[in-house]
Amino acid sequence: MLDFDNYRAAQIRLPQFGFPIPGCDPFDKAVVHKTYPESASPQKDLCEVTDFEEIRFEVTYGVCRAWIGPKDKSGSNSFIIKFAIGGSDERHKSLREEAAIYHEEIPSLQGIDVPTFYGYFEGATLGSDAERVSCIFLEDCGGPVYSSLVALPLSARAEILKKIGRIHLCGLTLDDFDEGNVVRRKKSYRIIDFQHVDFGHKCLWKGDRVYEGELVPTFSEIGCPIMHTYGLELDIWESRAPGSASFWIKSPEERIPNTLSKGVKFFHDDDVKNFHTWLKNYKQYEDSMTPEEYMEKFERPAFTRRYFGPRIFRPDQ
């Protein structure tokens, strides 16, 4: 594990915005000091970080991968620098708030469900036109999930839902959770990006099962409506449920609910309600129409995913 506590400061490099100029270093040097959480008594002077790779960069903020030691040397550890440079106070402020979330709200999840947080640093770029720099150092937990989350194996989707649940149990919910909030190294997934969160969530998930591969659980089985929606969106459950369709329309003939519910997929709790209404409506026509005729005359509601479509680039990761 990386430890920056012993250093008074770190010298890092941040990418310059725009096209690289041939022959010029595309990175600016900056010296930053750890200001949160405060180090007890740093023994060493400066930690020089020399190798970097740009992951994402906009004019005033971005994300880099950096290495302690030469990048190509075995044993060199990489970590992530999420930074704000110059610009408005807002970017700096939101990094500081994200640092507090890692350190104060979800410390027990670090290294398991979310990256290990190494600290919040402040400083400036070197040179005459010094610009304010703030950054957080995080464990490098791999790259983004490029495809849709739904394309991942069921076990991975279930694991992601449990991670969301454990974040909920710390009282936090993520706004607009999507593919951009998940990174992966081999088969290990972590949730990232805590710049858009809500506090005070009282989650009743028991912290154990998410019922992957089983029929859609009830709200009380899962214990949290948000997790229930994500479970449907992540396609964790067997949503085609002839058994439950039979329950809804109480037909003596198994074929009828099976036909009416064939291939139906739910992605949201409202979908279940809408389907239920459509299914119950068949009751009044069951003496005059076959299920096939009913389906032709009264089109079955079609449901689509709302959240986990193809990966959308999120510049504010």
Determine phi and psi for 4, rounding to 5 degrees. -100, 5
- The residue among 90 and 198 lying less far from Zn ion, judged by its C-beta, is 198
- The residue among 5 and 105 lying less far from Zn ion, judged by its C-beta, is 105
* Nearest distance in Å: CB 207, Zn ion: 10
Compute how many residues bind Zn ion; rule: CB under 5 A: 4
Rounded CA-CA distance 304/290 in Å is 27
CA dist list (Å): 30 to 3, 58, 168, 174, 191: 19, 17, 36, 31, 28
**Inter-residue contact 171 to 200 (CB < 8 Å):** yes
Helix spans in 217-254 (H): 219-222, 225-233, 242-249
* Nearest distance in Å: CB 247, Zn ion: 27
Kind of pairing between the strands at 61-68 and 51-57 = antiparallel
- The residue among 137 and 230 lying less far from Zn ion, judged by its C-beta, is 230
Cis peptide bond N-terminal to 37, omega within 30:
yes
* Nearest distance in Å: CB 190, Zn ion: 19
* Nearest distance in Å: CB 177, Zn ion: 12
* Nearest distance in Å: CB 116, Zn ion: 24
- Find tokens 């807002």 and name the residue: 90
**Inter-residue contact 190 to 115 (CB < 8 Å):** yes
- The residue among 145 and 222 lying less far from Zn ion, judged by its C-beta, is 222
The CB density around residue 288, as the number of other CB atoms within 10 Å, is 8
Q: What's the one-letter identity of residue 90?
A: E
Binders in 137-176 for Zn ion, by CB under 5 A: 168
Q: Which of 55, 108, 109 is nearest to 78 (CA)?
A: 55
* Nearest distance in Å: CB 198, Zn ion: 11
- The residue among 198 and 238 lying less far from Zn ion, judged by its C-beta, is 198
- The residue among 9 and 169 lying less far from Zn ion, judged by its C-beta, is 169
Q: Which of 60, 313, 118, 103 is nearest to 194 (CA)?
A: 103
- The residue among 164 and 241 lying less far from Zn ion, judged by its C-beta, is 164
Binders in 180-239 for Zn ion, by CB under 5 A: 203, 224, 226
* Nearest distance in Å: CB 187, Zn ion: 25
* Nearest distance in Å: CB 200, Zn ion: 11
DSSP 59: S
- The residue among 133 and 160 lying less far from Zn ion, judged by its C-beta, is 160
**Inter-residue contact 120 to 35 (CB < 8 Å):** yes
The CB density around residue 17, as the number of other CB atoms within 10 Å, is 14
| Contact positions vs Zn ion (CB under 5 A) | 168, 203, 224, 226
